[in-house]
Amino acid sequence: MCDVLCGYLRMPHAPDPPADDQALVSWQRERQVRVTVLGLIAAHLRDGAPASWQGHDLDFTGAVLDEAGFRGARFTGGDILFVKTLFAGHGTDQVVFDEADFAEGCHIYFRLAEFRSGTVRFNRATFSGGWVTFDHARFTGAHVTFRDAAFTAGEVPFEGAEFSDGTVDFAGAAFTGSTVNFGEHHLPSIYRTAPPAHFGGGTVDLSQVADFTLPPRFGLQELPPGLRLPEDTDVSELP
């Protein structure tokens, strides 16, 4: 069942509403169906669901998401693919991962995703052992928030990510155990190097984190425009 629903969401859907009134009605109807489908999937990912889909593979590759509520979802295993997914909210529409738990055994791919507009929230989410990658993702205008998120275990790579517009906000987040990496990464098993994140105009704000016990890796000697760190933090002294 979850494969069928994900397959539906991967079908083409225009990210922006059309100007023509008749086409707009069809677009809004289709959009509402997609929001309902996403809500059904999310319900099966929460504790206490009559039929749990926790640990299942879910493939949202290439989907267009402008409103989705994954609040309280638990990702306990499987491959969850948001590869090349476009996050393009309108107005107050949001994609919400608030209080979600990315637990040991899960592999979440935001690889090559584009965060173009709207708000995508990971507020109070817990990264507690899984592998959640934003490698080569593009942050081109959305407001992405990790407020009060807890990075306690696992890996969260941002290698090769591009920050060209918008804001990524980590206010109140606690970095106590996860390996969060914005820097270059060598992959000796395949003799390849993943490039560092590129700060070209967007804002990545870590200035108001709650705990910097194990800060993200940057591999930088100078602070680039748009990257904000806690007061008196020297980026060249970070891992």
Look at residue 19 in the predicted model and tell me its pLDDT. 92
Where exactly are the structural domains of the chain? 2-237
Cα gap 181→135, rounded to integer Å = 10
Look at residue 93 in the predicted model and tell me its pLDDT. 74
Look at residue 68 in the predicted model and tell me its pLDDT. 93
Say yes or no to pLDDT of 30 above 90. Answer: yes
Average pLDDT of the residues in 30-51: 95
Phi then psi dihedrals of residue 2, to 5 deg: -65, -30
- pTM for the whole structure: 0.94
Average pLDDT of the residues in 124-148: 96
95: nearest Cα among 73, 79, 126, 75: 73
Say yes or no to pLDDT of 96 above 80. Answer: yes
Per-residue pLDDT tens for 63-76?
999 999 999 999 99
Position of tokens 């225009």?
Answer: 14
Q: How many CB atoms lie within 10 A of CB 150?
A: 21
Q: Is 37:64 a contact under the CB 8 Å cutoff?
A: no
Average pLDDT, the chain: 94
Q: Which residues pair with 106 in a beta bridge?
A: 78
Per-residue pLDDT tens for 178-219?
999 999 877 666 667 779 999 999 999 999 999 999 999 999
Identity at 89, one-letter amino acid code: G
Look at residue 47 in the predicted model and tell me its pLDDT. 96
Look at residue 214 in the predicted model and tell me its pLDDT. 95
Position of tokens 């922006």?
Answer: 16
